[in-house]
Amino acid sequence: MRKVIVSEFVPLVGVMEDPRWTFQLPGDHMFIKSEELFASDALLLGRETYEGFAAAWPTMKMDPMDYADRMNRIRKYVVTTTLKDAKWNNSRIIRIS
């Protein structure tokens, strides 16, 4: 059995209306997320998060921590009822009804 670890970026005001990709690499926040990412075997994503990440990470410049490379190589499972294809590298769809 595997662990599922939930990780979110939430501002201090606690509002997550539009979680679009807004920061650039590297930054202090990436050191925290880097530890989580490199300790993981795969990512479990919803469709909207997947689509946002898939639009951002393949074009992200490589960084000293290799975070972008890890994001692009790690296995990704997308839970969706609507997405037909998961074209981002190493992505698979988990179809739900």
Of the two residues 60 and 29, the one the predictor is more confident about is: 60
- State pLDDT tens for residues 69-93: 999 999 999 999 999 999 999 999 9
Tokens of residue 76, six digits: 């990704």
For residue 87, the one-letter residue type is K
Please tell me the predicted confidence (pLDDT) of residue 78. Answer: 96
Which of 97, 70, 67 minimizes the C-alpha distance to 81? 97
pLDDT of 88 reads 96
Which pTM does this prediction carry?
0.78
Paired with 45 in beta bridges are: 78
Range of 8-22, 34-48, 80-94 with top mean pLDDT: 80-94
**Ordered alpha helix ranges (H), 1-97:** 28-38, 47-56, 67-73
Sheet hosting strand 75-80, strand order edge to edge: 42-46, 75-80, 91-95
